[in-house]
Chain A
Amino acid sequence: MTVGGSGGAVAEHPPPSRTPAVPDAGRRRPLGARLLGPQRRNLWFWAFVGPFALGLGLFTYVPLAWSVYLSFFDAHNTVSPSGSDFVGLGNYTAMVTNEAFLGSLGTFALFTVFIVPATYALSLGLALMVNRLRIAQAFFRSVFFLPTACSYVVAAVIWKLSIFNGVRFGLANTVLGWFGADGTAWLSTTDPPWYWLVIVTVRLWLQAGFYMILFLAGLQRISPQLYEAAAVDGARPGWQTFRYVTFPQLRATSVAVVLLLVINAFQAFDEFYNLLSDARGYPPYARPPLVYLYYTALGRDQNLGLGSAGAVILALIIALATVVQARWFGLGRKEE
C-alpha cells in the first residue's frame, strides 16, 4: 500500500515523520489558502458567523465591559468619567448596604416563589388536558398559546385599567359588587397585598401557553408502550399513571421549564413597571431589581456608576443561581 503523494515512489513503511498525510505534503500552502481553510470553510464560517459575532461584541460585550468599568466610578450624568471620579468598590458597598436594592432582591425572591410553581402547575395542567383531547386539540392549543403573542405592556395596561382598577366599574370590583362586597384598590393596597394577585395573574395569562407547548412536546415523546406496560403491571389510569409514568418521563422538560421560568422571573420588568409606576415614580413595594436599577441608572438621577455596580451584582447572582440550579437538577448530565 502506498501512502499519499502525488506520484513517485514512496516507501511501503515510511519512517515516522511530521509530514502530514495530505496531497501536497512537504509543500507549505500560501497564507491566504491556509486562512481560507479547506474548501474555504473558514471563509464561509466567518461569512455566516461574523456579522452576528460583531454585533454580539459591539452591542453586548463592549457595553458589558464598559458597565463593569463604570461601576468603579462616581459616574453621575456621564458615561466617560475622569480619574478623579474613581471610587473603587464604593458603589458596590453602597449597593449591598442599600435597603431599597436589598428589598428589590426580596421582591424578586417572593415573585419567584409565586410565579414559578404557579406557571409550572398551570402549564402542565393545560398540557395534560389538551393532550387528552380527541377533537379540536389544535384549536384549544392555539387558544391557550395566543396570549403569548400579546405584549406585556398591553396586557399590563388592560389588567390595570379594565380588570383591576380600584373604582366601582372595574371588572373585578363589579363582580365583587354582585356579592355585596366593597370594591378594592387592587394595586394601591398593601395590607393585604392584593397587587401580587394582579402581577401574578397577568404573567400567568401571558406565559402559561408557551410552557404548555413545551410540556405538550414532552408528553408526545413518551412512548405508548410505557403506558401499556404500566397498565399490565396494574397501574390505575389517572393519578397513579401520572405519578409513576408521565411525571418522571417529563423530567428533562421540567428541568428546562423551571430554569426558563426562574430566568424569566429575574428579568421581570414590563408588567411591574406598567402596573405600578406613574409619572412621579414607583412605590417601594413590589419593586424588582431591574426596575430599581432602571430608576437608579436611567432615571432622572442618572447615577450610571451605582446602577452599573447593581447590574454587576445582579448578573453575578443570576449566574450563581443558574449554576446551583443546574447542578441541583443535574442539567446536562447524561440520563442514567
Chain B
Amino acid sequence: MVEIGRRRVLAAAGGGALAAGLATACGSNTGRGGGSSGPEIRQWYHQYGEPGAERAVKRYAAAYRKAEVSVQWRPGDYDRQTAAALLTDSGPDVFEANGPLLEQIQGGQVADLTEVVEPVKDDFHQAALAPKIWQDKVWGIPQVVDVQLLYYRKSLLRDAGVEPPRTLDELVDGAKKLSGRKSKGLFLGNDGGVGVLGGTPLFAAGLSLITEDGKAGFDDPAAARTLGKIRQLYADKSLLLGAPTDWSDPAAFIQGLTAMQWSGLWALPQIEKALGDDFGVLPFPKDGSGGKPSVQVGAYACAVSARSKRQAAAKTFAKWLWVDRTDYQQDFALSYGFHIPARISLAKKAEQLRQGPAADAVRFATDHGYAEPLLWTTADRTAYQDALSRIIKDGANPESELKTVVRKVNAELQRVKKK
C-alpha cells in the first residue's frame, strides 16, 4: 500500500488548484479580446432583450487592440446598479448611461467627453444630444435613438369607422368607439400612461417641461386642459389596464387586446411580423390651437466613469467605438433591435429606415422629437408622475395638482442651479 505523505497531499492540492484556475480562466466568457494588449477596461451594458446584441458588443470589444475590454452584460435594475457602482472604485470604466443624470454630472461621477464628441457634434440627432450637455460640455455619447409612437391597427379602426387620430379629441373619441368587452381602444401602459407619457401631452399642447430660460414650462391653463383629456380616456373605460406585459412590449397590440398602443420603435419588427401591413404609426396627436404632434425620443449614452483609474484609455475606447466605428454603430442600431442610429448620416444611409412605418417614425423623430431636458430631475419626475396618477385615476383637479408640481419644479431648478 502506498503511503500518502503530507508533502504529496499538498503538492496534489496545489496542482488541483492550478488546474482549476486554468479551467476557470479558459471556461469563463469575459468578452475580452484575444489579441489585445494594454490596460484592462471594464465596460457595462444593460441587458437588451434582442437576441444577438450581447454577442455583438463582445465582438466589438474583442476587435479593439489598444486595451483589453471586458464586457459585463447586466440584467436587472441597471440604472440603480450603475448609480451604486459609481459611488465606489470597483465600478465600470465605460458604461451605458440612461442619462447621464444632472446629479451624476454635478456629483463629478462622469468624465467630460467634449473633446471626443466635438468633431462630429453636428452629426448627432440634436434632440437626443441636448440632454447630454451641461455647461457647454458633453457628458455622454448618444449610442442609438429610441422613439415612442402611437401604433394603430388599420383594420380595427376601419371596421369601427374611426380615422387615425390627428388631434387629442379624435384620440379620445376614437378610443371610446373602439372599446368593448373583449378589447379596448388604447393601451398607454398598465398604469394608464402615468409612467410612459411623461411630458408628451404637454408638448402636444405646445408647452414644455422646462422652458429655455429655466422655469417650469407647464404653468399654463392648456396643461390642465390636456391632462383632463387623458383623464377622460380613463373615465370612459377606453384604456386597457392590467395587461400581462406593459407598454414597451407589443404583445397586447398583437393579441388584439387593444386597437391602439403607445410603444417604442423597437417593437416595430415584431408587430410587422405579426400583422404585416395592417398597422400604422402616428405621433401623439396635438391638442388645441397652439398644439403640435409630439414624440418622445431618448438615447442611452456611452459615459466614462470619473473614478476610473484608466480614464484616458476608457475615453479613447469610447471614441473608437461610438465615434469612429460607424459600421459597428450601424450594426448595433439595426441588426438586433430596431433603433435609429444616433448619427444623422448613419440614419440617412440605413435601408431599413427608408420605407413604410419605419420611415414615418424617423420623420416624426426629426420633426416632432423632444427629449426630457437634463434639468428635469428625478424629484421633478416623481412629483409630476404622482400628480398625473391622481389626475388620471382619482379625477383630481388638474389645475391644483399642476400648481403643486410647478412649485416643486421651480424649487428644484433653484437647487440645481446653485450647485
Contact = CB atoms under 8 A, between A and B. Distances in A.
B246 interface: yes
Contacts of B49: none
A38 B278 CA distance: 87
Contact of A284 (B106, B243, B381, B386): B386
Nearest to A173: B242
Interface string A86-110: 0000000000000010000000000
B190 interface: yes
The secondary structure that dominates the A interface is loop
B390 A284 contact: yes
A300 B83 contact: yes
Contacts of A168: 181-182
A188 interface: yes
B244 interface: yes
Nearest to A186: B242
B46 to A, nearest CB: 11
A50 interface: no
B191 interface: yes
Interface string A167-184: 110100000000000110
Contacts of B378: 299-301
Interface string A159-171: 0010011111010
Contact of A78 (B107, B252, B257, B381): B107
A312 interface: no
Contacts of B257: 167
Contacts of B87: 77-79
Interface stretch (B56-64, B125-133, B192-200, B205-213): B192-200
Interface string B233-257: 0000000111110101000100001
A230 interface: no
Contact of B190 (A100, A187, A301): A187
Contacts of A303: 379
B394 A190 contact: yes
A186 to B, nearest CB: 6
Contacts of A284: 385-386, 389-390
Interface string A259-295: 0000000000000000000111101110000000001
A280 B382 contact: no
A191 B242 contact: no
A191 B190 CA distance: 16
Contacts of B381: 281
B6 interface: no
A10 interface: no
Given A284-B390, A285-B389, A301-B378, A188 B83 contact: no
A100 B104 CA distance: 24
Given A278-B191, A300-B378, A185 B241 contact: yes
B389 A283 contact: yes
Query: Of residues A78, A79, A185, A190, which shows the largest number of chain B Cβ atoms within 10 Å of its Cβ?
Result: A185
A185 B242 contact: yes
Given A189-B241, A302-B103, A278 B246 contact: yes
A190 B378 CA distance: 24
Interface in B366-419: 377-379, 381-382, 385-386, 389-390, 393-395
B52 to A, nearest CB: 22
Size range of the interface on A?
35 or more
Given A76-B107, A301-B377, A280 B385 contact: yes
A164 B106 CA distance: 43
B80 A300 contact: yes
A298 B377 CA distance: 15
B281 interface: no
Interface residues of B, number: 44
Contacts of B189: 278, 280
A41 B242 CA distance: 62
Given A280-B385, A300-B80, A301-B379, A77 B191 contact: no
A293 to B, nearest CB: 13
Given A77-B109, A279-B248, A190 B393 contact: yes
Given A165-B243, A182-B181, A190-B393, A283 B83 contact: no
A281 to B, nearest CB: 6
A186 B242 CA distance: 7
B86 interface: yes
A168 B106 CA distance: 48
A176 to B, nearest CB: 12
A295 B242 CA distance: 23
A190 B393 CA distance: 6
Contacts of B79: 300
Interface in A296-319: 298-303
Nearest to A295: B382
A312 B344 CA distance: 50
Given A100-B382, A279-B195, A285-B389, A298 B109 contact: no
Query: Of residues A76, A168, A186, A187, which shows the largest number of chain B Cβ atoms within 10 Å of its Cβ?
Result: A76
A281 B195 contact: yes
B416 to A, nearest CB: 10
A279 B377 CA distance: 16
A301 B107 CA distance: 12
A185 B241 CA distance: 6
A77 B190 contact: no
Interface string A200-243: 00000000000000000000000000000000000000000000
Interface in B221-271: 240-244, 246, 248, 252, 257
B79 to A, nearest CB: 5
Contacts of B98: 300
A166 B190 contact: yes
Contacts of A191: 393-395
A302 B105 CA distance: 13
A316 to B, nearest CB: 24
B84 interface: yes
A129 B377 CA distance: 55
A86 B170 CA distance: 53
B358 interface: no
Contacts of B196: 280
Interface string A122-138: 00000000000000000
A280 B109 contact: no
Nearest to A79: B87
A298 B103 CA distance: 13
Interface string A26-39: 00000000000000
Going nearest first, the 5 A-B pairs with the smallest beta carbon separation are A166-B242, A280-B195, A185-B241, A77-B107, A301-B378
Interface of B: 79-80, 83-84, 86-87, 98-99, 101, 103-104, 106-107, 109, 181-182, 189-192, 194-196, 240-244, 246, 248, 252, 257, 377-379, 381-382, 385-386, 389-390, 393-395
8 contacts: A76-B103, A77-B103, A79-B87, A100-B386, A165-B244, A166-B243, A191-B395, A279-B248
